[in-house]
A = this chain, B = another copy of it.
Amino acid sequence: MKKRLFTPGPTPVPENVMLSMAAPIIHHRNPEFMEILQQVHEDLQYLFRTTQPVVVMTCSGTGGMEASISSLFGPGDKVITVNSGKFGERWGELVRVFTGNCVEEPVAWGTAITPERIVELLREHPDARGVCLTHSETSTGTASDIKALCAAIHEESDALILVDGITAIGAHEFHFDEWGADICITGSQKGLMMPPGLALIAVSERARDIIEGFRHERPQYYLSLKKALRYHADDDTPFTPAVTLIIGLSEALRMIRAEGIENVWARHARLAAACRLGCEALGMRLFSSSPSFAVTPVWLPEGVDWKEFNRILKTGNGITVAAGQDEFAGRIFRISHLGYYDEFDMLSVIGSLEFTLKAMCVPFEIGSGVAAVQRAFLAD
C-alpha cells in the first residue's frame, strides 16, 4: 500500500533531497562542504527575509529554542511567554529552567493572543527582558499575527522578541527584518521538507550585541549562540555538523528559491483553505479560530472513536495524520500540509477521510469533500 504522511514534522522529503544525502560523505572542513554551507547560509537569509545571520545547529527545534533562551537571558531575567499549546508551554519551561522568572500568559487552545493583550502584559511587567511567541502553534493548528504582535511590542517596550517559527517558516508570510524580530527558529523537518536533525536560528543585530556583551559565563556550551555566530562568520560550525543533512538542506533550499518564497507561502494558504473546506463539506467542525497554514485541526465527528478512525486511515488507506494532544487527545485530529504538498495531496487526504467515514457508517454525501477541495482550487 502506498503510504502518505500528513504529520507536522517529520514531513515528506522530496526524492531528490533524499538522494542528495546518499552521496559519498565529505569532510566538514573541506572547501567543498564549506561552499555548500555558505550557500545554505545565503539561502536561509532569503527564507527568513533577513540580512542578519541565520545559524545552523545540529539538534531539534527545541535545541534551537534552548540556545536562544540560554544565550540571551540569565538568572532572574523576566521573560513573558504565551502558553496557547504544547509549544508555547515549552517556551515557558525553558525560561523557568534558565532564568527562573517567567510570566506565562495562558491562552485558550485554538485561539491566538491579541496585540492588545501583549501590550497589557508589557505594561504590567515593564521590566520584561523578552517576549516569546509562537507563530504557528502545532498542537492546536493556530496561527498568531506575528506582524501585529511585533509592532505592538516595539511600540511599548524594548523587550527582545523571540519567535518560534518552527511550523510557520515556509508556510506563513514572515519578514524577520521588516517586522523586527530578534530571534526566529525553525527545524529542518518542517516547511524545509527535510528529515529532522537541524535547527535554523535567525539572530538580529540587537540580539547579537547582547550575546556578545554578556559579562558572565552562561551555563552552556554545545548550544551557545555566541560560539555558533563566531563560526558562522567564516561559514563554519564550532562542532562537527550533520554533514549529510546540511547537504540535503542545500537541495531543499534550492527548490524553495526556484519556486519563490511568495509562491511557497501562497501555496500553503491555498492548500490550507482547501483542506478546511473539504473537512467542513464532510460535516466536520474546525478547531481553530485562527487557523495555521501548516496544519488543520478538526474535531472528530460526534460518536467517532479516534483509535478506530486512525486505524482505518492508516492501515486501510495508508494515511498518517496527527492525533490531538493533552485534553484534546481522542477529540481532535490534525492534517498537516506543511512543506512538500500540492493540490492532489489535498484530494488524497480528504478522499481518505471519505473512505474512513464511509467505513465507520458516518453519514455524508460521497464526493462532497473532494468536490469542495476542487472548487477551492478552481474557483481561484
Interface presence of A233 (CB below 8 A):
no
Q: Determine how many copies of this chain the complex contains.
A: 2
- The chain B residue sitting closest to A320, CB to CB, is B27
- The chain B residue sitting closest to A94, CB to CB, is B221
Task: Pick from A54-62, A149-157, A274-282 the stretch touching chain B.
Answer: A54-62
How near does chain B come to A11, taking the closest CB pair, in angstroms? 8
Task: Pick from A235-243, A288-296, A347-355, A361-369 the stretch touching chain B.
Answer: A235-243
List 25 A-B pairs, Cβ < 8 Å: A3-B24, A7-B27, A9-B240, A10-B25, A11-B25, A18-B21, A18-B25, A21-B244, A22-B22, A25-B195, A28-B196, A58-B58, A58-B59, A58-B60, A58-B63, A61-B240, A62-B239, A66-B222, A195-B242, A195-B244, A196-B240, A196-B242, A196-B244, A242-B242, A245-B245
How near does chain B come to A242, taking the closest CB pair, in angstroms? 3
0/1 per residue, A20-59, Cβ < 8 Å to B? 0111111110100000000000000000000000000011
Interface presence of A105 (CB below 8 A):
no
Interface presence of A141 (CB below 8 A):
no
- The chain B residue sitting closest to A13, CB to CB, is B25
Interface presence of A89 (CB below 8 A):
no
Interface presence of A219 (CB below 8 A):
yes
In the bound complex, do residue A197 and residue B60 qualify as a contact, i.e. CB atoms below 8 Å apart?
no
Interface presence of A178 (CB below 8 A):
no
Which residues of B have CB within 8 Å of A222? 59-60, 62-63, 66, 223
Interface presence of A220 (CB below 8 A):
yes
In the bound complex, do residue B189 and residue A240 qualify as a contact, i.e. CB atoms below 8 Å apart?
yes
